Amino acid sequence: MKTSTKAKPRCFKFLSETAIRQERFDISAWQSAQLRAKLPKGIYWIQPVERGKILWNLILLIDYLTSGDRPEHQILVEEYIATLPSVG
């Protein structure tokens, strides 16, 4: 009997800035604006309602803030993108 060694897919949750702060990362409005200008919308953050609350991809944001844009981080980004539904 063969067992699968495939890892369970990660759950990429999007959380509000308030919830991010509760996860121990204090992001000011200025820092949030700087990160939104630098990090691609739809991958790191979304804004479901025009002019509404910003939601952050918790795993990607924490990894980026703690480790920067290193090759391992890019693999994590690719892992997230692979979870998105195909268009077309």
**Tens digits of per-residue pLDDT, 29-87?**
899 999 999 999 999 999 988 878 999 999 999 999 999 989 999 999 999 999 998 87
pLDDT, residue 20, reads 86
CA distance 79 to 73: 10
Assigned domain for 60 exists: no
Assigned domain for 64 exists: no
Spatial CA neighbour of 65 closest among 24, 15, 30, 22: 24
What total of structural domains would you count in the chain? 1
Assigned domain for 9 exists: no
Assigned domain for 73 exists: no
> Whole-prediction pTM value?
0.81
> In this predicted model, which residue has the larger pLDDT, 11 or 51?
11
Whole-angstrom CA distances from 11 to 26, 29, 57 are: 22, 26, 10
- Domain residues for the domain of 34 are 15-47
